[in-house]
Amino acid sequence: MGSRIAEDLAVDFPGRVVVAGRDLERADATAAAIGRGVRGRRVDVTVAASIVAALDGVAVAVNCIDQPDRGLLWASIERGLAYTDITPHLTDLGREAEYERVAAAAKASGSRVLLGAGLVPGVSSVIVRALADTIGGADSIETALLLTADDVSGPASFDYLLRELAMPFDVHVDGVDRPARAFTSPRVVEFPAPLGSRRAYVFPFSDQVLYPRTMGARTVFTRLSIDPPGVSRLLALLVRTGGTRVVARERVRAALARLRGSRSTRTDAPYALRVDVAYGGRSAHATLTGRGQAHATAAGTAAVVRSLAGGEVAEPGAWMPEQVIAPSRFFERLARAGVRVQISAGEPEA
């Protein structure tokens, strides 16, 4: 994912993009393959001194990995840098005290922190803002993502899916938090042709935790469907029967990841996103379809970085995309990357 984002940004920022990882040789090779003056650098996010060295001369930091103790985030805030993050675990920021701690530190240092770049949250978050602007607000927000099993690729994303299956979480319904489990409460969602109707299940994408605060929504659901449909049904069965307690164990996850790693993955697998927003008796929805969700994730992240690098997000603090990203310019940037959002104008609810 990092190399995709770097390749996208290098077009507009030649000689100014740095790719970093624990293996300097690999980082240098990635940079050379991209060209356009991209440079490699070593960073180990478990070592504070390594983070400090890696941030030398940096204006915007983009994190693509889960990091212990959010070391890169806090180092960026301390230096007053702009920062964005595509990692999925933002649920702890749903706690008021933790969110305020990050926001206060960023405001004090002059840092502009934009959390939740990528596809969901990220692109979906800006879509929510666009739909809410169309109909005047957001009482309810429902997001549904359709992925193909062959596109749940990479050890990190596969491990994330296994862990989330066993993680209890809350959904916000009519202004009240209610306990939920992943791959329960299915709903039939109509995705654009040729994909059509799919059964999508509640899933703890982290944007749902913050929408009640950032958008004032009283009901929020995010759902996931995986093709072929039998995969989704199998995951739902694991949740119902308690099998998720087994697959969530570290040893089992590691074994499954090795098995998964031996299978080929597709970079052109179809994906689809649908977002529905309702307010005051009106509703609107938007859809996005394409092939290779990694491409859409990278395009969305690169668009966020351009907003930060260009000073479009000017006020220090910690933000989600729906709070500070202008939808029209963001969608134009996505379209240049071949990622096109289709918005259905607001209509009276049935």
Q: Is the pLDDT of residue 26 over 70?
A: yes
pLDDT at residue number 163: 74
When pLDDT is averaged across residues 222-249 and rounded to a whole number, the result is 85
- Do residue 238 and residue 267 come from a single domain? yes
Structure tokens at 286: 């938007």
Give residue 300's pLDDT band: very low, low, confident or very high (50, 70, 90). Answer: very high
Q: State the Cα–Cα distance between residues 86 and 300, nearest whole angstrom.
A: 10
- Do residue 304 and residue 161 come from a single domain? no
Q: State the Cα–Cα distance between residues 301 and 282, nearest whole angstrom.
A: 30
Beta-carbon contacts of residue 251 (< 8 Å; ≥ 6 apart): none
When pLDDT is averaged across residues 86-100 and rounded to a whole number, the result is 67
List the CATH number of the domain containing 164.
3.30.360.10
Average model confidence (pLDDT) across the chain? 89
Give residue 4's pLDDT band: very low, low, confident or very high (50, 70, 90). Answer: very high
- Do residue 64 and residue 113 come from a single domain? yes
List the CATH number of the domain containing 25.
3.40.50.720
- Do residue 309 and residue 279 come from a single domain? no
| Verdict on whether the full-model pTM lies above 0.85 | yes
- Do residue 261 and residue 318 come from a single domain? no
Range of the domain at 45: 2-118+298-326
When pLDDT is averaged across residues 165-187 and rounded to a whole number, the result is 91
- Do residue 53 and residue 140 come from a single domain? no
- Do residue 112 and residue 198 come from a single domain? no
